[in-house]
Structure 1
Amino acid sequence: MTATFDPNLPAAAPAADHSHDAAEGLAAVRRSPSRMALRRYMSNRLAVAGAVVLVVLVLGVLLLPVFMHLDPYTVDPLNVRAKPTGDHLLGTDGVGRDVFARLVYGGRISMLIGFSAALLAVLIGSLIGALAGTLGGWVDSTFMRMADVFMSFPNLVAIIVVVGIFGANVIVMVILLALFGWTQTARVVRGMILSLREREYVQASRAFGAKPLWLISRHLLPAALSQVVVLMTLEVAGFILSEAALSFLGVGIQPPTASWGNMLQAAQQYTVISSMPWLWLPPGLAIALTVLAINFVGDGLRDALDPRQR
């Protein structure tokens, strides 16, 4: 029996097309959310540039003292406010200390305060916001009224008073900045928890007897983690600026310990600003570059972790 060919029958699709479609489908399945977020972040040139600048700055303040002999404390009365030379790359300050060494060590202090205070503020705010959004009722009202009090309080005046009582050091600055900086994170986390707790999987867990703390740790906070990370980057930039402002006013980190803020405070005379730019320009540029880079990283993370923001 011989087979007959019917020209009206559709031609069979090539096997290669089926394999190509299957490969594309498999690739789409394997494309995890983290990889997609990384891809979106890498497509943002400003965010990538900000990350590179931030990494260079952090590595610089951490590693330069390992490879270079930098002494930020030695005073040379015979070499006061000297211009940049081979021995002093950025000159010397008003008491003869090396400006480049103080810039590096001051970066350590300023970044340590910024990152530590932001981490502590985010932890406090996330916990308070999660408890307020999950438990509701009087717990929610109490925490939110407390947040209103902290937001309406003059933070700068309060910090100046506390510093005047306990003195200014890194630990006090971190605690004070975090104490007055947790409110924004708490409000954002609370708002997200209020919407997430009505989801089906959360309602199902509650129906099976899940406790509030279990819901917070397993379902609610992990779902809000992307927004918390973005908030933390923005908090770091804000706290670095706050430390610089307090030190510039003379109530922050006190000499001889170096910070970018007290370096600017020591160079606020008119004659220094007009004729000695090596005393104020390096710390000013360091603060500006660090804050700008962190803001770019935060914007990139926001777009990468939440594509609806694009």
Structure 2
Amino acid sequence: MQVSRGKAFINRILSHPHRILASVFLIGFSLLALALPLLPLDPEGLDVIHSLAKPSLQHFFGTDEVGRDYFARVLYGGRVSLMVGFLSMAMSMGLGVMIGLLSGYFGGAVDFFFMRLVDVLSSIPWMILVMVFGMVFGRGLLSLVMVIGLLSWMETARIIRGEVLSLKEREYVLYARFLGIFPLRILFSHIFPGILPTIITASTAAIASSIMVESALSFLGRGVTAPMSSWGSLLQNAQKFLQKAPHMAILPGILIIITVLSFHQWGEALRESLLLERE
């Protein structure tokens, strides 16, 4: 007997304690990030006298080199990292799904063009592409989202193309084509619902990947610009104070790891729930 996707996903989450912890972390941190403007936290408040202070009751995560409360900076940095992750995922998934749909359904010259484009972009070392595009678009939140989104759609396009090649041979699709229904209507009314589970599952991995890429770019100095900060930029700044204040690197690093692992746990739960639904 089949169960609804939502119920199956929740059951998969509740069946593993680490997935429950991952869900609590993601939901809790996301809600906290949304509520940050309402909280009495100032990530830019200076207190030079107490610079590089260790974690205490007054400053839960200590302070940075100019006395700014590191707890506030980590929270605001996490909000930026999550924002980049979600927006980049939306852009990359949109591009990947659209190109995969068109390539798989129409085939021929359309398929050849898009797949050769995927091959070319995939063959170039990722870091070179990122650095070149980063110099073209400059620095900043919008530029970071565009760079990550434009350079992370290729694998999604391949996966979606494979799904479409299988689905377009189904009887209901062949019948729709026989009736002369407009191709775009067939794509979005008959084929798209069939690849939706794959899109949902791939999205969680894309968010985790985007957060990792953002952290790497910010660590290399190609991320967001001051006064805005992200977990990656906090790590980049913390490397100058590893001996005096190791907490400045440890805390955002741990949060990056936990966030990425949590999204992967959600992805595994989604994958298992979709497999259960098909049985």
TM-score per shorter chain, which class? over 0.9
2:141 pairs with 1:157:
no
Q: CA deviation at 1:39?
A: 5.8
Q: Which residue of 1 aligns with 2:162?
A: 191
Q: CA deviation at 1:158?
A: 2.5
> Which amino acid is the alignment partner of residue 26 of structure 2?
L
2:57 pairs with 1:57:
no
SS of the aligned residue for 2:48 comes to coil
Q: Which residue of 1 aligns with 2:66?
A: 95
Report if the CA contact (8 A) 1:41-1:303 is conserved.
Answer: yes
SS of the aligned residue for 1:189 comes to helix
Q: CA deviation at 1:143?
A: 0.6
Counterpart CA distance in 1 for 2:225 and 2:58 is: 26
Report if the CA contact (8 A) 1:130-1:193 is conserved.
Answer: yes
2:246 pairs with 1:287:
no
> Which amino acid is the alignment partner of residue 295 of structure 1?
H
SS of the aligned residue for 2:139 comes to coil
Scaled by the length of structure 1, the TM-score of the pair is 0.84
* Deviation readout 1:13-51 (Å, 9 max, x if unpaired): xxxxxxxxxxxxxxx5xx554366346524541434322
Scaled by the length of structure 2, the TM-score of the pair is 0.93
| Stretch deviating more after TM superposition (227-236 or 154-163) | 154-163
Report if the CA contact (8 A) 2:92-2:150 is conserved.
Answer: yes
Larger Rg: 1
SS of the aligned residue for 1:89 comes to coil
CA 1:166–1:224: 2 relative to 1, 3 Å: closer
> Which amino acid is the alignment partner of residue 148 of structure 2?
L
| Stretch deviating more after TM superposition (52-61 or 207-216) | 52-61
CA 1:152–1:274: 2 relative to 1, 3 Å: same
Q: Which consecutive residues of structure 2, in runs of 5 or more, have no partner in the other structure?
A: none
CA 1:60–1:35: 2 relative to 1, 3 Å: closer
Counterpart CA distance in 2 for 1:42 and 1:93 is: 37
Report if the CA contact (8 A) 1:255-1:262 is conserved.
Answer: no
Q: CA deviation at 1:282?
A: 1.4
* Deviation readout 1:69-116 (Å, 9 max, x if unpaired): 111122333222112233322111112211111101101100000011
Q: Which residue of 1 aligns with 2:217?
A: 246
Q: Percent identity?
A: 37
> Which amino acid is the alignment partner of residue 201 of structure 1?
Y
Q: CA deviation at 1:131?
A: 0.5
SS of the aligned residue for 1:147 comes to helix
> Which amino acid is the alignment partner of residue 88 of structure 1?
H
Match of residue 184, structure 2, among 213, 233, 238 = 213
Counterpart CA distance in 2 for 1:309 and 1:148 is: 32
Please give the residue correspondences for 1:137-156 in structure 2 after superposition, counting only pairs within 5 Å. 137-156=108-127
Q: CA deviation at 1:175?
A: 0.9
Q: Which residue of 2 aligns with 1:107?
A: 78
* Backbone CA RMSD of aligned residues: 2.0
The number of equivalent residue pairs is 278
Q: Which consecutive residues of structure 1, in runs of 5 or more, have no partner in the other structure?
A: 1-27
Counterpart CA distance in 2 for 1:198 and 1:243 is: 39
Counterpart CA distance in 2 for 1:114 and 1:95 is: 28
CA 1:165–1:126: 2 relative to 1, 3 Å: closer
* Deviation readout 1:280-301 (Å, 9 max, x if unpaired): 1211111011001000000110
Counterpart CA distance in 1 for 2:77 and 2:14 is: 33
2:89 pairs with 1:118:
yes
CA 1:208–1:158: 2 relative to 1, 3 Å: same
Report if the CA contact (8 A) 1:226-1:305 is conserved.
Answer: yes
